């Protein structure tokens, strides 16, 4: 409940939490003492990913969308790292090994590149249209 308490708290009250999350008993009494498992990371990853998507879907500011993208990428990274670390699994379960970390590394690198280009485009858009309001950039509509 603590874990989910955290996630529930984070979600703005306005967003109704789906009841299906009744999986609290699974985590034993005191999360403080029990070792962290893979599922926790997945949940954090999911939350980040969802926040990212929501941000992209919500923000009218181009930069807001870029931030959404960053969040999404980080959500993915968390999952990668989680799957690659041997400590979050039971003993001996096969993990991604270094692959996960390398992929996460590349994601970070390419995210940097992507951000650079995206910002360049946004700046251009801003210079040309004097606004970064994405809704105004609907020239390519049907």
Which of positions 53-112 make contact with other proteins (CB under 8 A)? 53-68, 70-71, 74, 77-78, 81-82, 84-93, 95, 97-102, 104-106, 108-112
Task: Give the shortest CB-132-to-other proteins separation in angstroms.
Answer: 5
Q: Where in 119-138 is the site for other proteins (CB under 8 A)?
A: 119-124, 126-135, 137-138
Q: Among 1, 25, 29, 34, which residue interacts with other proteins (rule: CB under 8 A)? A: 34
Bridge partners for 133 per DSSP: 61
Minimum Å gap between C-beta 14 and other proteins is 6
**Residues 75, 81 contacting (CB under 8 angstroms):** no
Distance CA 126, CA 117 (A): 14
- Minimum CB–partner distance for residue 66 and other proteins (Å): 6
- Considering only residues 35 to 54 of the shown chain, the ones binding other proteins according to CB under 8 A are 35-44, 46-54
Task: Identify the burial level of 140 via C-beta atoms within 10 angstroms of its C-beta, where 0-12 means exposed, 13-18 middle and 19 or more buried.
Answer: exposed
Q: Which of 27, 30, 24 is nearest to 8 (CA)?
A: 24
Q: What are 112's two structure tokens?
A: 């940097």
> Least CB distance from residue 72 to other proteins, whole Å?
10
- Hey, what are 78's tokens? 């968390």
């Amino acid at each position: 409940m603590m874990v989910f308490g955290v996630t529930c708290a984070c979600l703005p009250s306005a967003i109704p939490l789906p009841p299906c999350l009744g999986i609290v008993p699974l985590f034993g009494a005191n999360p403080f003492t029990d070792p962290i498992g893979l599922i926790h990371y997945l949940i954090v990853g999911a939350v980040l990913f969802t926040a990212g998507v929501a941000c992209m879907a919500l923000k009218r500011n181009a930069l807001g969308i870029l931030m959404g993208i960053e969040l999404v990428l980080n959500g993915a990274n968390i999952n990668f790292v989680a799957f690659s670390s041997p400590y979050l699994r039971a003993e001996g379960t096969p993990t991604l090994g270094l692959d996960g970390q390398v992929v996460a590394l590349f994601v970070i690198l390419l995210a940097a590149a992507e951000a650079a280009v995206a910002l360049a485009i946004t700046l251009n858009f801003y210079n040309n249209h004097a606004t970064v309001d994405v809704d105004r950039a609907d020239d390519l509509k049907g």
